[in-house]
């Protein structure tokens, strides 16, 4: 019989500007939060494995071997520790590998920490570092960046389905409304549709980044870390923790072509669809069972496109659901209850773990007033690596 894996502790720094701090310290802060939450801080050396998700500490911070650094910073030696890198999906990949370690029987307790410090370098440099995940010869060398691909994808979607820039602004308004209530969010400020779309100054406030994407269609550059403590729910050790675990019902990933231009249909995100299908199958549920979702809105268009790929809406209709308020906190299917990457922020290596923390907070009923989903049963997250070429889907359940 397969081992059941759960999340028994969560930790999170406030995302934003932590550039004056050391990456290992920032990750250790979130990890300590998670251990305290689980009531396991004093017994941390009994953890079987530490797995760190980080994308580019070598380039952002001129720092390598961060997993070793984290363990030492927390006085946890000789616990084994390794790093997992999968671009902006490093965090969810770290959770997936942690899940595999527990499910295989090799470990009973695994600490997963995702973290990134991006703001030690200039915005131009950060854009360049993030772009190194593209195909070197055929994309990066051309001057292309992730926002450039976001813009080109958005134009195709607009021309095919009739999406407008106002629709993208509505996603931002919704996510900022949620993020304003999230104590961990980078931008804890709501925005209005008048300010960023309808008003006379909107084009100035919400300037173009990569047409037709504007500033409020794009996530900020953030620092931060998040951590989850995984446990074998079938082990007697499960009684040693302060809180009841939230079960990981499904976790899966898939890949797609590295070069975006080589996808048969450039509007399809096959890796998202395949990862979600595998996670649904593993969990024994479907899109209709999901109570709320955290979707990788590095660009607001991605929240829409991912929500269609995972089966929440028919193709080309997700923005109509946003117009009707279906993805609001009190809507039929709340999406990005944390504020999403748009408002909560996107420290690339931390994001996948941060999404899992939000799933647990919602399923425990611990989200702040005004953004707690009513009686959620299943929460789903999608962490998007590259421009959709390496994607992880996670489903957590409250039993």
Asked if 151 is part of the footprint of another protein (rule: CB under 8 A), the reply reads: yes
| Count of all residues that appear for the chain in the document | 399
| Residues near another protein (CB under 8 A), total | 38
For the bound state, the minimum distance from the C-beta of residue 155 to another protein, rounded and expressed in Å, comes to: 5
Which of 72, 122, 198, 286 forms a contact with another protein (CB under 8 A)? 122
Q: What six digits make up the tokens of 277?
A: 């299908």
Q: Taking CA 253 as the corner, what is the angle to CA 250 and CA 255, rounded to the nearest 5 degrees?
A: 160
CA distance 144 to 142: 6
For helices 123-131 and 146-161, angle between their N-to-C axes, nearest 10 degrees: 70
Which of 15, 40, 99, 153 forms a contact with another protein (CB under 8 A)? 153
Q: For residues 219 and 353, which CB has a smaller minimum distance to another protein in the complex?
A: 219
Which of 46, 82, 159, 201 forms a contact with another protein (CB under 8 A)? 159
Cβ partners under 8 Å of residue 209, min gap 6: 147, 151, 215, 217, 218
Stretch that binds another protein, among 4-12, 44-52, 134-142, 360-368 (CB under 8 A): 134-142
For the bound state, the minimum distance from the C-beta of residue 145 to another protein, rounded and expressed in Å, comes to: 6
Asked if 68 is part of the footprint of another protein (rule: CB under 8 A), the reply reads: no
Q: Return the C-alpha torsion angle 161, 162, 164, 170, nearest 10.
A: -60
Asked if 148 is part of the footprint of another protein (rule: CB under 8 A), the reply reads: yes
Asked if 155 is part of the footprint of another protein (rule: CB under 8 A), the reply reads: yes
Asked if 278 is part of the footprint of another protein (rule: CB under 8 A), the reply reads: no
Give me the DSSP letters along 41-103: STTGGG-SEEEEE-S-HHHHTS---HHHHHHHHTT-TTS-EEEE-BTBTHHHHHHHHHHHHHH
Asked if 204 is part of the footprint of another protein (rule: CB under 8 A), the reply reads: no
Cβ partners under 8 Å of residue 222, min gap 6: 15, 16, 17, 116, 118, 119, 186, 345, 346, 347
Is 249 in contact with 283 (CB distance < 8 Å)?
Answer: yes
Asked if 209 is part of the footprint of another protein (rule: CB under 8 A), the reply reads: yes
Asked if 368 is part of the footprint of another protein (rule: CB under 8 A), the reply reads: no
For the bound state, the minimum distance from the C-beta of residue 267 to another protein, rounded and expressed in Å, comes to: 9
3-state secondary structure 23-38: HHHHHHHHHHHHHHHH
For the bound state, the minimum distance from the C-beta of residue 49 to another protein, rounded and expressed in Å, comes to: 33
Site string for another protein, 236-265 (x = CB under 8 A): -----------------------xxxx---
Location of structure tokens 């310290």: 25
Q: Taking CA 384 as the corner, what is the angle to CA 106 and CA 262, rounded to the nearest 5 degrees?
A: 115
CA distance 261 to 375: 42
Q: For residues 158 and 282, which CB has a smaller minimum distance to another protein in the complex?
A: 158
Stretch that binds another protein, among 138-146, 276-284, 301-309, 358-366 (CB under 8 A): 138-146
For the bound state, the minimum distance from the C-beta of residue 151 to another protein, rounded and expressed in Å, comes to: 3
For the bound state, the minimum distance from the C-beta of residue 264 to another protein, rounded and expressed in Å, comes to: 10
Location of structure tokens 């496109």: 305
Which of 143, 236, 239, 369 forms a contact with another protein (CB under 8 A)? 143
Which residues contact another protein (rule: CB under 8 A)?
122-125, 127-128, 131, 135, 137-145, 147-148, 151-156, 159, 207-213, 259-262, 266
């Amino acid at each position: 019989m397969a081992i059941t894996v759960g999340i028994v502790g969560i930790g999170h720094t406030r995302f934003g500007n932590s550039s004056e701090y050391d990456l290992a310290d920032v990750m250790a802060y979130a990890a300590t939060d998670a251990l305290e939450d689980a009531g396991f801080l004093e017994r941390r050396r009994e953890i079987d494995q530490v797995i760190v998700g980080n994308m580019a500490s070598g380039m952002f911070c001129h720092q390598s071997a961060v997993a070793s650094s984290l363990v030492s910073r927390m006085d946890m030696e000789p616990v084994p520790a390794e790093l997992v890198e999968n671009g902006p999906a490093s965090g969810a990949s770290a959770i997936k590998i942690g899940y595999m370690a527990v499910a295989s029987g090799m470990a009973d307790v695994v600490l997963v920490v995702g973290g990134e410090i991006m703001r030690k370098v200039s915005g131009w440099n950060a854009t360049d570092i993030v772009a190194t995940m593209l195909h070197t010869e055929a994309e990066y060398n051309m001057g292309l960046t992730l926002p450039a691909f976001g813009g080109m994808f958005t134009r195709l979607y607009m021309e095919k389905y009739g999406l407008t820039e106002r629709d993208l602004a509505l996603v931002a308004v919704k996510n900022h409304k949620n993020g304003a209530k999230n104590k961990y969010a980078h931008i804890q400020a709501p925005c209005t549709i008048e300010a960023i779309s309808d008003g006379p100054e909107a084009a100035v406030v919400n300037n173009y980044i990569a047409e037709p994407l504007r500033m409020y269609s794009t996530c900020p550059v953030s620092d931060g870390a998040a951590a989850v403590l995984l446990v074998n729910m079938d082990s007697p050790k499960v009684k040693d923790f302060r809180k009841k675990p939230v079960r990981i019902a499904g976790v899966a990933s898939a890949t797609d072509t590295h070069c975006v231009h080589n996808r048969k249909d450039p509007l399809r995100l096959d890796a998202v669809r395949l990862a979600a299908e595998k996670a649904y199958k593993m969990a024994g549920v479907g899109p209709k069972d999901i109570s709320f979702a955290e979707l990788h809105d590095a660009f607001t268009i991605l929240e829409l496109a991912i929500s269609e790929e995972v089966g929440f809406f028919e193709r080309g209709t997700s923005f109509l659901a946003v117009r009707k308020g279906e993805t609001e906190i009190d809507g039929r299917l709340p999406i990005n209850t944390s504020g999403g990457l748009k408002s909560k922020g996107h420290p690339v290596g931390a994001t996948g773990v941060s999404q899992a923390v939000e799933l647990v907070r919602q399923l425990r009923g611990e989200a702040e007033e005004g953004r707690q989903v009513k009686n959620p049963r299943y929460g789903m997250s999608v962490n998007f690596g590259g421009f959709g070429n390496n994607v992880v889907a996670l489903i957590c359940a409250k039993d």
